[in-house]
Amino acid sequence: VCDRRCSGALPRDWPRIDVSLEEEVRVTHGNPVLCALDVPLTRIFNKKGEFMAIGEIESGWAHPRVVLTSKPLVRSSELKAEA
């Protein structure tokens, strides 16, 4: 993932996207989410402001490449409440 496109850049310098509770579940499973950024890499945060993944942007989608949690941090009841 980190080739010449991000040479010398640190993750804190990359743009950030914040995902919904539903998108958080997708990210924790390694599935992409829509993203309007035009950069190669991004940091992905959940609604609680927790850094959860590094995403690679391809064709308007942020593909999680490094996920920092192995299970969703949300309960199914929280997903229903958001809908």
Residue 12's pLDDT is 80
Residue 70's pLDDT is 55
Compute the distance between CA of residue 30 and CA of residue 65 in angstroms, rounded to an integer: 7
Closest by CA position to 55, among listed 8, 21, 19? 19
Residue 6's pLDDT is 54
Extract long-range pairs of 52-56: CB within 8 Å, 24+ residues apart.
Answer: 52/24, 52/27, 52/28, 53/27, 54/1, 54/11, 54/14, 55/17, 55/27, 56/1
For the chain of 83 residues, list the mean pLDDT of each consecutive stretch of 10.
53 90 93 94 93 95 88 60 60
Query: What pTM value is reported for the model?
Result: 0.73
